[in-house]
Structure 1
Amino acid sequence: MKICIVTTRHISYNPRVLKEADVFAAHGIDVSVVTVNNNAQQARFDEAMMKERKWRLVTVNFRREIKSEKLRWLFLSLQEKIFSVFSKFTYRYGVAERASLKGFSALARLAKNEEADFYIAHHAEALGIAYAAAKNKGVRFGFDAEDFHTGMSESGSPSDKDSLLSFLEGKYLPHAAYITAASKGIGEAYEKKYGLAKTTTILNVFPKEATTVTSADFPVKFYWYSQVIGPNRSLETLLEAASQIDAPYELHLRGSYCNDAYKEFLQTLIKQKNLQKKVFIHPPIVAERIITDASKYDVGLALETDVSYNRDVCVTNKIFSYLMAGLAIVGTDTYGQKDIFSHFKKAVLLCGKNNADELAQAMLYFIQHPEELTVAKRFAKEAAEERFNWEVESEKLLTLLEEKAGVLQQGPLVLK
């Protein structure tokens, strides 16, 4: 059997695709991943990760930083802008697809060239590509929702992008053989919005990894990470909470600044709060080093807010990286996080969203109670080893694929 995964991100920043491709390949499935190559640094990470992979990576290359690809980047950028203008008047005739993704047509050609028995789209922008390639081969496709893509606007009202993606999801999702979601809340949101049959939750967990759960360190080391260090990620609330704690501790943040303005803002805020000797900022790392790196700390911070509907219902992979690394967790009470935290309550202290006082109290509790912190760390690792790991979740995915493999011979898709 051959499977083609279509995504719109670099694989080094897309651990969900990596895990999916790896598990399929480990079970003897011929796997290809079709995606974009639009960032030189991320491409270097991709190359390093592919050295030990048993599947193929096929990319559309348009890195602005690479001289030989700059002209193509310019052409695709212009093309995207033109279709974005057209999308103000109509979404039909392939306009929405091309307005949603730079390099759509080139990516679609690569996907159609793959001789696959099944296609899987990751991200709503890839739906049209997976659908068209599947139709071309007379097979079916699935969709994986890592987020509720049309609920990501932080303005309080739907954006133009939300409207575009709503059109694409409404057009293609009813034809999917299955839909998986990264949290119960995300799946429920898709079911409700599009009247879909029940989705399958595949959590953003990690493969089992041997790490030693150590006793609470002194000073206690708190850890937060994300691909992006920027606004609406509770960092301002975190620094306010940290400034209230009159005790030894370290606060470690990992990620890339969204822009220079926010970098300056955050560094100024750290100085204003007199936290220069307590806050340490680290650059991003590839997905395969996340667990090992996290195991150096004591408490993982999962500080989601309800700044968007998606943020309220999602369950990010940082939670499961903390568990696998053997970290206790301080987390906020969003819908998605409360649901998942209920399965390992002894590893978590809960605090209110955007509530610096409650966050400070939770952090201080772990600082002042090192024995309870050590117990919480052990409960976290136990939860990861017994239930919240990729070995368990991947079996759900393989079973789902096996069940849907029977529809592969039903003939070509017809979009009405």
Structure 2
Amino acid sequence: MSLGYGTSHYYKKAKNIKADLFICHQELATYIGTKLIKAGFKVAFDLEDWYSEDLLPAARAERPINLLQTTESVALNKGVFCITTSKALAKKLSQTYKCPIPTAVYNVFPSPDVDLNKPKGFSNPLKLFWFSQTIGTGRGLEQFINISKGFKNSVEIHLLGNITPQYKELLNSILPAQHKLYFHELVEESKLAAKIASFDIGLALELDSPMSRNYTITNKFFQYIQSGLPVIASETAGQIEGFEQFKPGYLLPQQPLAMDISKLEQWLNNATALQTARGKAIEMAGIFNWENESKKLLNSINEALEK
């Protein structure tokens, strides 16, 4: 099975459970969910990514794209409900597959144990933070470091995650002399919010390709604001959506001109603007958290069970 191993085993296991409602997440489970629908079960789907559009062209050649597209079409048209990570992605999936618009349940976490009301100043130089399980290419890091060549004032760029020696060497080789680059090892999930809060600004750097990356809003965007950090976010369809109401930082074009880089530097050097953005981030965190977003999921489940 090109989407994973043990398809028949998991399918039989699921059938034997005879659940009132199955909720399928990730590619293999989504495929199994479409088989469960054919067997007469009630199935919903959690599409955290646009699976058939989640890889760069070089990697797509080895992926079962047609199977993924067929699986997505069945899930979106025949599932009792579908949820996904942004309104932008929900709308795009609906247009592509001629299906009802999925419910957007943002990829947020329970409100962390971080005192967001405690006054906080900004460091000099500013400490900019980015994290992921893996630090690697295709995440906008090289692009941002190149942009930072235009900053007159120094900044610190802090990266947390697993990284290869080769990629670490690459990043250090392109780092402008006026800045410093620091690497941090992974921390326990329970300690991540406090770790994030120890920095000044979160970097939500994303490329607008592949399409899945363009339309989703990643968890790190929300984890920054939930820890009280203003955000520098790459301009993607998903992150534009995240900025629409609150503007918790600075939205950076994918191909920034000299004027855009100058405006970003002015913003970084404006303590009042940074504090305003921090206030907006904290205000946004009061709305975009799991305590609120979980209600959407529970409502969808209740409606599905009542049908």
Instruction: State TM-score, norm by structure 1.
Output: 0.66
Is the Cα contact below 8 Å between 1:119 and 1:134 reproduced in 2? no
- 1:238 matched to which residue of 2? 144
Is the Cα contact below 8 Å between 2:76 and 2:100 reproduced in 1? no
Output aligned runs, 1:315-394, within 5 Å. 315-345=217-247, 347-355=248-256, 357=258, 360-361=261-262, 364-385=265-286, 387-394=287-294
Letter matched to residue 379 of structure 1: K
Shift of 1:178: 0.2
- 1:121 matched to which residue of 2? 24
**Percent of aligned pairs with the same amino acid:** 28
- 2:82 matched to which residue of 1? 179
1:271–1:314 Cα change, 3 Å: same
- 1:63 matched to which residue of 2? none
Distance 2:14 2:244 in 1: 41
Distance 1:157 1:248 in 2: 37
- 1:283 matched to which residue of 2? 185
Shift of 1:343: 1.5
1:339–1:234 Cα change, 3 Å: same
SS in 2 for 1:230: coil
Is the Cα contact below 8 Å between 1:205 and 1:393 reproduced in 2? yes
The match for 1:301 among 200, 203, 208 is: 203
Is the Cα contact below 8 Å between 2:111 and 2:226 reproduced in 1? yes
1:274–1:173 Cα change, 3 Å: closer
Runs of 4+ in 1 over 6 A off after TM superposition: none
- 2:91 matched to which residue of 1? 188
Output aligned runs, 1:102-251, within 5 Å. 102-133=5-36, 139-155=41-57, 159=61, 160-213=63-116, 214-251=120-157
RMSD: 2.6
Shift of 1:362: 5.4
- 2:3 matched to which residue of 1? 100
Letter matched to residue 154 of structure 2: P
Distance 1:316 1:361 in 2: 26
Runs of 5+ in structure 1 lacking a partner? 1-97, 408-416
Shift of 1:236: 0.9
1:404–1:373 Cα change, 3 Å: same
1:128–1:161 Cα change, 3 Å: closer
- 1:313 matched to which residue of 2? 215
Distance 2:210 2:136 in 1: 15
Shift of 1:264: 1.1
Is the Cα contact below 8 Å between 1:183 and 1:314 reproduced in 2? yes
Is the Cα contact below 8 Å between 1:112 and 1:132 reproduced in 2? no
Is the Cα contact below 8 Å between 1:220 and 1:249 reproduced in 2? yes
1:240–1:382 Cα change, 3 Å: same
Is the Cα contact below 8 Å between 2:160 and 2:186 reproduced in 1? yes
Distance 2:38 2:67 in 1: 22
Shift of 1:182: 0.4
Distance 1:273 1:307 in 2: 24
Task: Give a deviation string over 1:264-315, Cα, whole Å, max 9, x none.
Answer: 1442341343559711112233444332221111111112122211122111
Shift of 1:131: 4.2
How many residues matched? 303
Distance 1:283 1:360 in 2: 30
Letter matched to residue 146 of structure 1: E
Is the Cα contact below 8 Å between 2:249 and 2:274 reproduced in 1? no
Shift of 1:241: 2.2
Runs of 5+ in structure 2 lacking a partner? none
- 1:81 matched to which residue of 2? none
Distance 1:126 1:236 in 2: 34
Distance 2:14 2:259 in 1: 49
SS in 2 for 1:100: coil
1:401–1:102 Cα change, 3 Å: same
